[in-house]
Amino acid sequence: ALVTSKEMFKKAYEGQYAVGAFNVNNMEIIQGIVEAAKEENAPLILQVSAGARKYAKPAYLKKLVEAAIEDTGLDVVLHLDHGENFEICKQCIDDGFTSVMIDGSKYSFEENIALTKKVVEYAHERGVVVEAELGRLAGIEDNVNVSEKDAIYTDPNQAVEFVERTGVDSLAIAIGTSHGAYKFKGEPKLDFERLEKITKLLPNFPLVLHGASTVIPEFVEACNKYGGNIPGAKGVPEDMLRRASKLGICKINIDTDLRLAMTAAIRKYLTENPEVFDPRKYLGEGRKAIKEMVRHKIKNVLGCSNKK
Ligand SMILES: O=C(COP(=O)(O)O)N(O)CCCCO
Ligand code: NA
Ligand SMILES: [Zn+2]
């Protein structure tokens, strides 16, 4: 069924694991993800960005997710990722989403609070939960582009005030991650002290980690080997994600690792099978790669196998 993340996050917090939030844009990506979650008996969040809604059109994505639930019997959260304003959050809530993110992180503290409160009011009246963001990620991906110098980590005391004044259900925090495949110039590093401080001030409050792809080296190498060009791509090491999910992080966002898995598999297949031109062949390879990658994440990184 379509569910909110309320129960999922409560269990994830107590069980010291995280739920995967995977970005979806087409049928094969959805199928690969839900097949993995089904086999792992795992809780699941499928998230749709504004870019995904433009690419696939809202109706297709909604019906594909409904089909996935019908086919697998899974409990799935349908979440709007990086909602930029009240309107798109309202649209998705009216369209049956069970969770929305209102990303006011580019505004002032007070403006972010005012905007988030407005979305929380509308969402809670309809049984929908809300994620907000405080602090700014660095990094470039789609239309989420904040240059390094403005990257401002989340202030723990502000986080308490923000949660109290908005009534938001979960909070995306900035502790060193960024969107996309080029997350770190030097050694990967997350501000775990800051994360611990936030959990001490906000016990049992679900936190969200954006920009959390590992940028799996095996896929980067395969992409580059079969005609790609993504040198120096680097992400969050798996042990840091495991450590974060043992703390207050209950939701870990993954988009780039899906993109890399699918792209590597399709590049490899097309290079090795030049005579093939049936899209089911290479899209099917992409789907398989996504399924295997998501299973690995669920089992070895998120720790949410058999936690459905
Ligand atoms: O936090 C993330 C994904 O992060 P990553 O790029 O590490 O997979 N997202 O919110 C998904 C994509 C953002 C803009 O489209
Ligand atoms: Na957790
Ligand atoms: Zn994000």
Matching residue, tokens 């005579």? 275
- Cα-to-centroid distance, 24 and ligand 3 (Å): 13
Residues of the chain with pLDDT under 70: 139-151
CATH class of 6-302: alpha beta
Residues in contact with ligand 1 (CB, 6 Å cut-off): 23, 49, 51, 81-82, 141-142, 144, 179-180, 210-213, 253-256
CB atoms within 10 A of CB 292: 14
- Cα-to-centroid distance, 165 and ligand 3 (Å): 23
266, 286 Cβ separation under 8 angstroms: yes
For 240, the 3-state DSSP assignment is helix
Report d(CA 296, CA 40) in Å as an integer. Answer: 10
Nearest to residue 9, comparing CAs of 203, 202, 169? 169
Tell the residue nearest (CA) to atom 1 of ligand 1: 210
Strands 138-141 and 144-145: antiparallel
Summarize pLDDT for 150-181 with one digit per residue, the tens.
Answer: 568 999 999 999 999 999 999 999 999 999 99
Q: Note the pLDDT of residue 152.
A: 83
In 249-272, which positions are buried (b, 16+ CB within 10 angstroms) versus exposed (e)? bbbbbbbbbbbbbbbbbbbbbbee
Which of 46, 48, 82, 141 is the best mutation target for the ligand 1 pocket, counting ligand atoms within 8 Å of the beta carbon and taking the most?
141
Q: Note the pLDDT of residue 145.
A: 59
Known active-site residue 278: no
- The phi and psi torsions of 173 (rounded to 5 degrees) equal -115, 155
Which of 53, 54, 81 is the best mutation target for the ligand 1 pocket, counting ligand atoms within 8 Å of the beta carbon and taking the most?
81
- Cα-to-centroid distance, 260 and ligand 1 (Å): 13
Q: Note the pLDDT of residue 47.
A: 98
Tokens (6 digits) for 87 = 């309107």
Which atom of ligand 1 is least distant from the CA of 258? 8
How much is the CA Rg of the chain, to the nearest whole Å?
Answer: 18
